[in-house]
Amino acid sequence: MSVRSDEFHRMLETLADVQRSDATEWESYSVRGKRFGYYWPRTQTVGLKQTLSEQEALVAERPDVFEVQFTSGGFGWVVVQLDGIESDELIELVYEAWRLSAPDELVEQVPPPC
């Protein structure tokens, strides 16, 4: 069970208007100027925006895979260990992170993953 970094990047390509910014230690992802995710190559982890209740549930269910990153503005960010998650679960979390940041008209154009 694990997701490779190239698989994670392909997941992002299925979403509309994703902007990538590179920093020295990480990459960040935004939609129309609103951040929804991060990728840290050194640790093979991603940080994803979620609701506070989803953040709490994920961390409580599998603390070896998910950890609290921070909370901000009513959202809970989670760190995801790529070597501990299946691709079908990660794509759902990536979509949800994107959806929480994307404008409604854009969300209507991109159906959720099956």
Q: Which domains does the chain have, with CATH numbers?
A: 5-107 (3.90.1150.30)
> Which letter, b or e, does each residue of 49-60 get, where b requires 16 or more Cβ atoms within 10 Å of its Cβ?
bbeeebbeebbe
Q: What percent of the chain has pLDDT over 70?
A: 100
Query: Alpha carbon 81 to chain centroid distance?
Result: 11
- The reply to whether the predicted model has a pTM over 0.85 is yes
One-character DSSP codes across 32-73: TTEEEEEEETTTTEEEEEEEHHHHHHHHHH-TTTEEEEEEET
Residue 114 pLDDT exceeds 80: no
Residue 34 pLDDT exceeds 80: yes
Q: What is the mean pLDDT of the chain?
A: 96
Predicted pLDDT of residue 25: 96
Predicted pLDDT of residue 1: 77
Residue 107 pLDDT exceeds 80: yes
